[in-house]
Chains A and B, each alone.
Chain A
Amino acid sequence: MNPFERGWEGAREHAVTVLSVAGLVVVWQILAMIIANPLKLPAFTSVISALFIQWETILWVDLRVSLIHFAIGMTAGLLIALPVGMAMGWSRIADRIFDPIVELIRPIPPLAWIPFAIIWFGLTPQAAGFIVFVGAVFPILINSYVGFRSVPRIYVESAMVLGATRNRDLLRYVAFPSALPSIAAGIRIAMGIAWMCIVAAEMFGASTRSGLGYRLWEYYSLHMMEMVFLYMIVLGLLGLFIDRTFRFVVQERLLRWQEGIRQN
């Protein structure tokens, strides 16, 4: 296939995507006009005008605050989950010590921690960040554990006969790169859960009085449903953006070696 044809193929694929989204918008608009009740289904056009009124607040206040919650929770989650998952996957003793603790705490839904988050941290970004942390920590931990547990023995032994006899070297040169695909998958799952936790934590007011989730609930109380819809769309698009960016960075850069292995 020559570059021109490939370009044409690509353009056609994009055209289908654009048309499919446009179709959804048209159906939505027609439905809203038939229902004619902005409380039940605000029209596409009114959501767009809401965007024109609201975009500065969204961008500079709510988005910023929500991303702070996200960053606090994910960072704390990574800092705890990676070392603990690594220790549990690599050493049988660490596995025995941590496993019962993890298995007892893990089934508690993250949102059940909201009261304690507020008591411990007050109405601060750290409180919402803590909820995000609880949601994010376990998928990363479990996946790191699985990754480090299932390092193929042949790689460990190859490294040993090549001179990697210290545990530190084996972890750094063999176990970590071998576990990386599993860790990356865990982080991806964690980010999805974190995004849900942010909305819930903010709706419960477990932070300063802002954030995408907080604002969404506020507008619901005011029955301004076009605003609610607008915030839902922003949350959806942002979640998509974060996931795609992560996938691109990790798979194109860090896990390039996996290409082709996955297909086989």
Chain B
Amino acid sequence: MTALLEIKGLSKSFSVKGKTFEALREVNLSVGEKEFICILGPSGCGKTTLLRIMAGLERPTSGEVTLDGVPIEGPGPQRGMVFQEYSLFPWRTILDNVSFGLELQGVSKAERHEKARRYIQAVGLAGFENSFPHELSGGMKQRVAIVRALVNNPRALFMDEPFGALDAQTRNVMQSELLRIWQEQQKTVVFVTHSVDEAIYLADRVVIMSARPGQINKIIDVDLPRPRIRTSAEVNRYRERILSDLKILRNG
């Protein structure tokens, strides 16, 4: 597998009220083309910060992230992002939300609406094109957020606990849907979560991070065929292993 994303010697510190706080220390990771990576860790381990640096929304204190060997200097449509909070523009219809990226690229209205329609249809939201975000449920909003990022045809998709605000049932449905999209679109996905189950269900590799300072503790290959059965013995073995890793981290 060729590496698409390279994280090299990445550190990040924040200054809060004169005190320096080390969010990330010496993080190294390489993410392959079409790979699905889950970053797992307790809150405060810097996983969101790491993702935001990869998206270009924050600058590292030292080290760098490269995409296809090119250092990331700022945000751009090459790297899509789905946030935990609902991030759809409330003043735009679903259709105009999804076609936003294309509008910025100067794609004609007919063309961008046509393309956006196809994506909206693909996630089962046909008929909602002219609705406004507040008329949609949480799961529907996140589906729109995902296709809004995908319409730009990014090299990588970053997801920051995108299903964190959803109920358990919807969350399971969304996970399967995401896997389907990922298999169809052949995208690299970096997915931040604090749910062990979610990570095992989704990822090719689970990156376990520890807090204070945030650093990568362990990388576990989830060598199971998809679709994975959430309650199978193999999945349970992985769960056992990851949970014990996390426990060791917690107890120092």
Contact = CB atoms under 8 A, between A and B. Distances in A.
Contacts of B90: 257-258, 261
A173 to B, nearest CB: 7
Interface string A156-188: 011111111100010001100110100000000
B121 interface: no
B75 A257 contact: no
A161 B134 contact: no
B59 to A, nearest CB: 13
B77 A162 contact: yes
A107 to B, nearest CB: 34
A161 B93 CA distance: 19
Interface size bracket, B side: 20 to 34
A264 interface: yes
- Among B80, B91, B105, B148, the one with the most A-chain Cβ atoms within 10 Å of its Cβ is B91
B76 A161 contact: yes
Contacts of B79: 161
A173 B57 contact: no
B91 A178 contact: yes
B100 A159 contact: yes
30 contacts: A154-B83, A155-B87, A157-B81, A158-B81, A158-B87, A158-B88, A159-B100, A160-B57, A160-B75, A161-B75, A161-B79, A161-B80, A161-B149, A162-B77, A162-B152, A163-B76, A163-B104, A163-B105, A163-B152, A165-B74, A165-B76, A169-B104, A173-B100, A173-B104, A177-B91, A257-B92, A258-B90, A260-B132, A260-B134, A261-B134
Interface string B81-97: 10101011111110000
Nearest to B154: A161
Contacts of B77: 161-163
- Among A160, A162, A163, A257, the one with the most B-chain Cβ atoms within 10 Å of its Cβ is A162
A157 B57 CA distance: 7
Given A257-B92, A260-B135, A264-B134, A164 B104 contact: yes
B55 interface: yes
